[in-house]
C-alpha cells in the first residue's frame, strides 16, 4: 500500500464513521466522543473552549500558532443516498459535508503528530485544530472567538475548507477579499383590518387596509429595488415564505413574510435594510396598513485577508481563483473578524472532462449541498489534506 493509499484509507475511515452519527446544533455527544478518541492518541492538548467544541493544540515550540477549523454539526434531513455507511440517526444527515471537513482536519492532525514526533519536517508554527459546533444554526464560530482560545494559544492566522459540488472534482479554489455573503434572515409583519370583501366595493386602496395588497405591492417594488442595488454591488433579498389572510371572502387583516438578505459589505447591508424599510413603508401607506420588519444580525461576509491570500497563492500553484463572490453564508466569517484567515472551496463535482467513471466507487456529487442524496467521491479529500499540509509549512 502506498503512502497515498494509507492517507486515503484514514480519511475514508474518519469520514464514514462520522457520517453514520450526524448530530445537530450544539447537541453533539457522539461526535465529540469520536473526535476525542482519535485525538487522545496524539501528542496534543485537548481543550473545550465552549460546550461541544473540541480543540487540539500541538506545540511545535514556536511563538505563534496557525488554526485549522472544521465544523461538526449536521442537518435535520433524512438520508436517501443508499450508502452502506448511511446515517444511523433517523431524520439527520451530514448533507453539507461537515463529516468531510472533520475527516480532513483529523487526518492532518495525525500528520502533524507524526512530524512533531519524528522531526521529519519542522513546523514553523504551533497548530490548533478547532472542531466547532452550530455552523448551520446559531453561529458557533462567534462563541469560539469570544472564548479567548485564540489569545490563549497565540493564534495569528486561520484556514478552513468547504466541499463544493459546483466545482470540478479535486479543485481547490478561493479568492482574495469577499468570498461568501453576509446573511440576514428577514421577517416582516403587515397589519391591516379585516373586512368582508363585499364592503370593499368602491373603496380606494388606501381605505382598504388590505394586508395582502400591501404584500403584493411590496414584493414587486422590492424586486425592482434589488435590481437597482445589484448594479452597484452584488446583493439579493428574496422572500420564500408569504402568508396573508385566513378566509377567502375577507380582506386580509395580517400578512407575514420571511426571507433572506445577502450582501458582501457592511455598507450595503445598512443601505439595503434602509431601502427595504422605505419600500415596505410606501407599500403600506398606499393601502392603509402598517408594518414591522426585523433583520437578524446573521453571519458577516466571509472576507479573505488579502495579504495572507497572496502568501497562500504563492504556495499553492494549483489554486483556482474564483472570479465572483458567492451569495451563500458561512460562520467562518467570525474568525476572520478576529484573525487573518483564508477560506477555501474543495471541488467534489464532476471532473472537467465529465467522465464520472474517474470518480471512484461512489461517483461524483450530482446533488446539491443540503440535499438528501448528497454524496461524493472521498478521494477529492486528499487535495484538502495536501493543501492543509502546505499551509502549515508557511
How far is the C-alpha of 201 from the C-alpha of 249, rounded, in Å? 13
Question: What is this structure's pTM?
Answer: 0.91
Q: What is the pLDDT of residues 201-226, one digit of tens each?
A: 999 999 999 999 999 999 999 999 99
Domain 3-181+301-392 has CATH 3.10.20.30: no
Pairing of strands 341-349, 155-168: parallel
- Helices (DSSP H) in 242-380: which residue ranges? 266-285, 306-315, 332-336
pLDDT above 80 (res 365): no
Contact predicate 240/301, CB 8 Å: no
How far is the C-alpha of 314 from the C-alpha of 8, rounded, in Å? 26
Helices 98-118, 3-19: axis angle to 10 degrees equals 140
Cell numbers given for 82: 443508499
Mean model confidence pLDDT for the chain: 95
Domain coordinates in residue numbering, the chain: 3-181+301-392, 183-295
- Eight-state DSSP code of residue 310: H
pLDDT above 60 (res 355): no
Per the listing, cell 475514508 goes with: 12
Categorize the per-residue pLDDT at 357 as very low, low, confident or very high, splitting at 50, 70 and 90: very low
Helix H or strand E segment including 244? strand 236-244
Cell numbers given for 378: 472521498
> For residue 132, what pLDDT is reported?
98
User: Would you identify the CATH topology of the domain 183-295?
Assistant: Alpha-Beta Plaits (3.30.70)
Q: What is the pLDDT of residues 49-86, one digit of tens each?
A: 999 999 999 999 999 999 999 999 999 999 999 999 99
Cell numbers given for 72: 461538526
Equal fold, 3-181+301-392 vs 183-295 = no
Categorize the per-residue pLDDT at 363 as very low, low, confident or very high, splitting at 50, 70 and 90: low
Amino acid at each position: 500500500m502506498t503512502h497515498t493509499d494509507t492517507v486515503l484509507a484514514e480519511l475514508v475511515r474518519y469520514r464514514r464513521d462520522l457520517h453514520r452519527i450526524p448530530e445537530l446544533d450544539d447537541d453533539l455527544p457522539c461526535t465529540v466522543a469520536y473526535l476525542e478518541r482519535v485525538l487522545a492518541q496524539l501528542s496534543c492538548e485537548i481543550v473545550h473552549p465552549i460546550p461541544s467544541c473540541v480543540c487540539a493544540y500541538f506545540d511545535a515550540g514556536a511563538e505563534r500558532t496557525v488554526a485549522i477549523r472544521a465544523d461538526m454539526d449536521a442537518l435535520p434531513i433524512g438520508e436517501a443516498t443508499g450508502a452502506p455507511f448511511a446515517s444511523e440517526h433517523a431524520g439527520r444527515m451530514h448533507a453539507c459535508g461537515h463529516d468531510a471537513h472533520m475527516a480532513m482536519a483529523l487526518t492532518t492532525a495525525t500528520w502533524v503528530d507524526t512530524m512533531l514526533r519524528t522531526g521529519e519536517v519542522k513546523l514553523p508554527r504551533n497548530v490548533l485544530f478547532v472542531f466547532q459546533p452550530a455552523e448551520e444554526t446559531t453561529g458557533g464560530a462567534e462563541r469560539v472567538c469570544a472564548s479567548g482560545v485564540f489569545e490563549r494559544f497565540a493564534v495569528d492566522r486561520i484556514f478552513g475548507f468547504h466541499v463544493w459540488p459546483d466545482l470540478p472534482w479535486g479543485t481547490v479554489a478561493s479568492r482574495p477579499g469577499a468570498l461568501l455573503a453576509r446573511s440576514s434572515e428577514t421577517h416582516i409583519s403587515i397589519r391591516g383590518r379585516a373586512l368582508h370583501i363585499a364592503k370593499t366595493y368602491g373603496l380606494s386602496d388606501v381605505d382598504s387596509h388590505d394586508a395582502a395588497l400591501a404584500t403584493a405591492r411590496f414584493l414587486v417594488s422590492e424586486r425592482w429595488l434589488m435590481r437597482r442595488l445589484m448594479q452597484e454591488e452584488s446583493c439579493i433579498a428574496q422572500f420564500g415564505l408569504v402568508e396573508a389572510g385566513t378566509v377567502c371572502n375577507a380582506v386580509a387583516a395580517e400578512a407575514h413574510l420571511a426571507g433572506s438578505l445577502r450582501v458582501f459589505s457592511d455598507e450595503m447591508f445598512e443601505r439595503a435594510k434602509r431601502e427595504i424599510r422605505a419600500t415596505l413603508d410606501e407599500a403600506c401607506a398606499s393601502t392603509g396598513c402598517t408594518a414591522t420588519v426585523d433583520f437578524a444580525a446573521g453571519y458577516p461576509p466571509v472576507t479573505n485577508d488579502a495579504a495572507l491570500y497572496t502568501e497562500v497563492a504563492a504556495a499553492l500553484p494549483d489554486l483556482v481563483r474564483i472570479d465572483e463572490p458567492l451569495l451563500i453564508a458561512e460562520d467562518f466569517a467570525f474568525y476572520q473578524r478576529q484573525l487573518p484567515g483564508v477560506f477555501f472551496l474543495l471541488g467534489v463535482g464532476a471532473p472537467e472532462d465529465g467522465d464520472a467513471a474517474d470518480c471512484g466507487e461512489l461517483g461524483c456529487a450530482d446533488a446539491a449541498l443540503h440535499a438528501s442524496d448528497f454524496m461524493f467521491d472521498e478521494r477529492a479529500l486528499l487535495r484538502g489534506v495536501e493543501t492543509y499540509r502546505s499551509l502549515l509549512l508557511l
